[in-house]
Amino acid sequence: MARDRRPPLLRRLTSRAGRGDPPENAALADELRERSRATLHDRVHRVRTAFGLAVQAGLAAGLAYLIAHRVLHNPQPVFAPISAVGTLAASVGQRFRRTVELIVGVAIGVLVGDVLIYFLGTGAWQLALVVTSAILLTIFAGASVAVVIQAAATAVLIVTLSPSTENLEFPRFVDALLGGTIALLVTAVLLPLNPLRVINRAARPALNLLADQLDTCAHALRERDRGAAQRALFRLRENKDELTALGEAIEGAKETITISPARWHRRSELTHYAEAADPIDRAMRNSGTLIRRTVTLIEDEEPIPAPMPDAVAHLAESVRLLRHEFAAGEEPDKARQRTLRAVSEAGRAYHEGVGFSGSVVVAQVRTAASDLMVASGIDQEDANRLVRHAFDEHHRTPDSALTPQPPTAPPVG
């Protein structure tokens, strides 16, 4: 019998059709539509994020082909546009390195290919031996994965095209150099992207993820909904893609501002963003501890003072305000005020009385708030002082376990 390859949710929905269970079918249909909307939104966002890179790659490929064909009189300038696209396809922030890797990879591939072809000729087994030798040589030399791939690809081209194309080696060198140079020229001068716009687009998913899961946690605290808190915890742990995209965007923006005179005036703004990446990462990890302890708090039926969910909700709103003020190029004063309000509500909750896990939730509100204050541009020492003052408005306590933890401290159990 043929295997049903439909998504599990769709199979469940169609299998229940006609069973007289309309409410559950309606719920499943709503879930399916919600997932479809989320998938479409994610795809549109990825297209918007990659649009500038796609235009840069197209322009670089066209220029590389034109110059190699018209200026260098190469009748078949295949390698130049490939090198240009390969450079731009590298992780943003590593395009200088990718250009060098292209040249090194080509050199090794040409060397291995020429030597083995000279002694062994061409054919299927010779091709296999050339590729294997090129890979092993580059790995022995300690080269990166990109160099290994480039060397192997060049070796393949040398073996397969040499019988029909004479003097392939030198044009391959020139094309690789030309393509990489054109790619850098397009990135730096002809079509430099707005680095802050790139970072804003990359930061939005990470900050939205953090804010949404903190909101879910606040709701779970109000309703004592363990399942909601657990789902928020699972979702927040899946933040690798968002943080990776943000880190790469920052590295790409640094590269753009370094090599593009048109973007030099953005250096101070970029510095602010670059310094915010690490504390945002720490805020995510500390929020994960907060939500994990929320799950335990609900399981143990500890008291939940009314200000506790309010504190978490204010923390979520402070993340949204930080995202908005970053995007608008404004000083994040509103985000700071809302962050301190979250700490103040946490102080009220602690003053009214909490259990063990509740005290950890309060502590993590303070720690995450300190991270967000640092992300907004406040010095770590000043951020800790402001957070301590906001908390002590409702509860005075000497140095305690509630003091924000240093970044390297392990998360509270």
Per-residue pLDDT reduced to its tens digit, 87-137: 776 555 555 666 677 667 777 777 787 778 778 877 888 888 888 888 888
Q: Which range among 80-84, 205-209, 261-265 shows the weakest confidence by mean pLDDT?
A: 261-265
Helix 333-352 to helix 380-392 angle, to the nearest 10 degrees? 40
Give the end of a domain, one of 169, 190, 211: 190
Q: Is 121 part of a structural domain of the chain? A: yes
185 and 203 together in one domain: no
CA-to-CA distance for 120 and 149, rounded, in angstroms?
23
CATH number, residue 227: 1.20.58
Q: Where does the pLDDT of residue 404 fall: very low under 50, low under 70, confident under 90, or very high at 90 and above?
A: very low
Give percent of the chain with pLDDT exceeding 70.
Answer: 67
In percent, the amount of the chain with pLDDT more than 90 equals 28
| pLDDT score at 218 | 95
Q: Can you tell me the distance from the alpha carbon of 12 to that of 8, in angstroms, rounded to the nearest whole number?
A: 6
Q: Cα 9 from chain centroid?
A: 28
Q: How far is CA 7 from the centre of its chain?
A: 27
Q: What one-character-per-residue DSSP string does 120-173 give?
A: H-SSHHHHHHHHHHHHHHHHHTT--HHHHHHHHHHHHHHHHHTTTSSS-HHHHH
CA–CA dist 305, 222 (Å, integer): 9
pLDDT, tens digit (0-9, with 9 covering 90-100), for 281-328: 889 899 999 999 999 999 999 999 999 999 999 999 999 999 888 777
More confident residue, 324 or 36: 324
Q: Of 386, 397, 255, whose CA–CA distance to 333 is shortest?
A: 386
Residues 354, 355, 357: CA angle, nearest 5 degrees: 110
Mean pLDDT of 240-269: 66
State which of 139, 160, 190 marks the end of a domain.
190
Confidence check: pLDDT of 369 > 90: yes
Q: Under a CB-based contact definition with an 8 Å cutoff, are residues 221 and 233 in contact?
A: no
- How many structural domains compose the chain? 2
Mean pLDDT across the chain, nearest whole number?
77
Same domain, 346 and 202: yes
Give yes or no: residues 173 and 217 share one domain. Answer: no
Task: For 169-226, write each residue's pLDDT tens digit.
Answer: 566 667 777 887 887 777 777 766 666 676 777 778 888 889 999 999 999 999 999 9
Domain, as residue range, for 335 = 195-257+264-392
Question: Under a CB-based contact definition with an 8 Å cutoff, are residues 172 and 154 in contact?
Answer: yes
* 203 and 303 together in one domain: yes
Cβ atoms of residues 172 and 157 within 8 Å: yes
Nearest to 252 by CA among 41, 52, 45: 52
121 phi-psi bin (left φ>0, alpha ψ -120 to 50, beta other): left
The pLDDT value recorded for residue 319 is 94
Do residues 164 and 199 share a domain? no
The pTM for the full model equals 0.59
Same domain, 118 and 166: yes
Contact partners, residue 217, CB within 8 Å, separation at least 6 = 228, 229, 232, 287, 290, 291, 294, 312
Q: Supply the pLDDT for residue 98.
A: 66
Considering the domain architecture, whether residues 165 and 201 belong to the same structural domain is answered as no
C-alpha span between 122 and 45 (Å, rounded): 47
